[in-house]
């Protein structure tokens, strides 16, 4: 399906006009600030993530609209503060895309998506307002699992991968052994530190096999919710008391949940 550019431009201009009206006349929209929108924006991004995870196209369209609203809203606030406006936002993006794709808009040669990814990270450091270090561009508020993945991806672009994937399993075992020592010593602070190292190594191991740990864990979360919901419906939902049920009875229902 080819995009009708004229229709798209008209719709976008209409959105800008609507935003102007809301900012002037709506009691809620007129008092919003960058700070008041921040958490709402985060929520919208996670709602889009849910829709993408479910491959729910109608909701992907809806959530993209909500995020676009936030982009326009922030741009309106920037315009009012005489810092920037929506045209500045778009032009800044255009320039960045051209700069970071020299294999399209310049003379750089690439052979794979991996080459593009490595060039992308190096070019970010060269930008006038770019990141000063390889890892400085990672948002502090990213969920820890995603942040670990991004750290590993960025480091890989500069330092490369381990020659043998099997090394990651050796490293993981080493981290588990270090945790076991602190567990025996009953050192809670060190246990937490070493457990964090285990998780970081586990995420890195998954990444080596092209598995995104965040996605894998979310699939398991949803699987467990589905199974436990069935378990509840067949026990508490039928008036049974868990404390009066035998271990074998509970396990029988739990095994049934796996087959649903």
Domain closes at, from 48, 74, 99: 99
Q: How many domains does the chain have?
A: 2
Domain closes at, from 99, 126, 151: 99
Residue 42 lies in a domain: yes
Domain closes at, from 38, 67, 99: 99
Polymer length of the chain: 260
Domain of 254, in residue numbers: 214-259
- The pLDDT assigned to 129 comes to 62
Q: Tally Cβ neighbours within 10 Å of residue 157.
A: 16
Residue 11 lies in a domain: yes
pLDDT, one tens digit for every residue, the chain (260 residues): 677 899 999 999 999 999 999 999 999 999 999 999 999 999 999 999 999 999 999 999 999 999 999 999 999 999 999 999 999 999 999 999 999 899 999 888 988 887 887 787 777 777 766 667 778 888 888 889 999 999 998 888 766 666 567 788 988 999 999 999 999 999 999 999 999 999 999 999 999 888 999 999 999 999 999 999 999 999 999 998 988 899 999 999 999 999 87
Supply the CATH number for residue 36's domain.
Answer: 1.10.287.1080
Do 109 and 103 contact (CB within 8 A), yes or no? yes
Does the pTM surpass 0.75? The reply is no
Residue 43 lies in a domain: yes
Residue 140 lies in a domain: no
CA–CA gap between residue 260 and residue 186 (Å, rounded) = 41
Residue 160 lies in a domain: no
Residue 75 lies in a domain: yes
CA atoms within 13 A on the CB side of 66: 18
- The pLDDT assigned to 183 comes to 95
Q: Which residues of 8-46 are buried (b: 16+ CB within 10 A; e: fewer)?
A: eeeeeeebeeebeebbeeeeeeeebeeeebeeebeebee
Residue 26 lies in a domain: yes
- The pLDDT assigned to 192 comes to 96
- The pLDDT assigned to 128 comes to 60
Query: Kindly report the CA angle at 158 between 145 and 210, in degrees rounded to 5?
Result: 45
Residue 66 lies in a domain: yes
Structure tokens at 77: 């606030």
């Amino acid at each position: 399906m080819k995009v009708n550019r004229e229709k798209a431009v008209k719709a976008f201009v209409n959105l800008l006009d609507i935003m102007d009206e809301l900012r002037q006349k709506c009691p809620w929209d007129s008092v919003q600030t960058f700070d008041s929108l921040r958490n709402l924006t985060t929520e919208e991004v996670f709602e889009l993530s849910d829709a993408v995870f479910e491959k729910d196209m109608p909701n992907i369209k809806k959530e993209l609209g909500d995020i676009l609203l936030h982009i326009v809203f922030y741009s309106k606030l920037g315009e009012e503060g005489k810092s920037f406006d929506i045209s500045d936002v778009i032009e800044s993006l255009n320039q960045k895309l051209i700069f970071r794709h020299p294999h399209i808009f310049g003379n750089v040669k690439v052979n794979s998506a991996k080459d593009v990814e490595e060039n992308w990270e190096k070019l970010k450091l060269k930008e006038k307002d770019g990141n000063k270090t390889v890892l400085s561009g990672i948002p502090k508020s990213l969920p820890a699992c995603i942040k670990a993945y991004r750290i590993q991806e960025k480091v890989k672009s500069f330092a490369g991968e381990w020659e043998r994937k099997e090394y990651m399993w050796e490293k993981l075992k080493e981290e588990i052994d270090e945790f076991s020592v602190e567990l025996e010593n009953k050192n809670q602070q060190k246990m937490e530190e070493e457990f964090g190292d285990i998780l970081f190594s586990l995420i890195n191991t998954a990444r080596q096999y092209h598995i995104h740990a965040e996605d894998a864990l979310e699939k398991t979360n949803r699987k467990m919710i589905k199974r436990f919901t069935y378990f509840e419906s067949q026990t508490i939902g039928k008036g049974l008391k868990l404390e009066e049920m035998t271990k074998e009875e509970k396990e029988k229902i739990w095994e049934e949940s796996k087959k649903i």
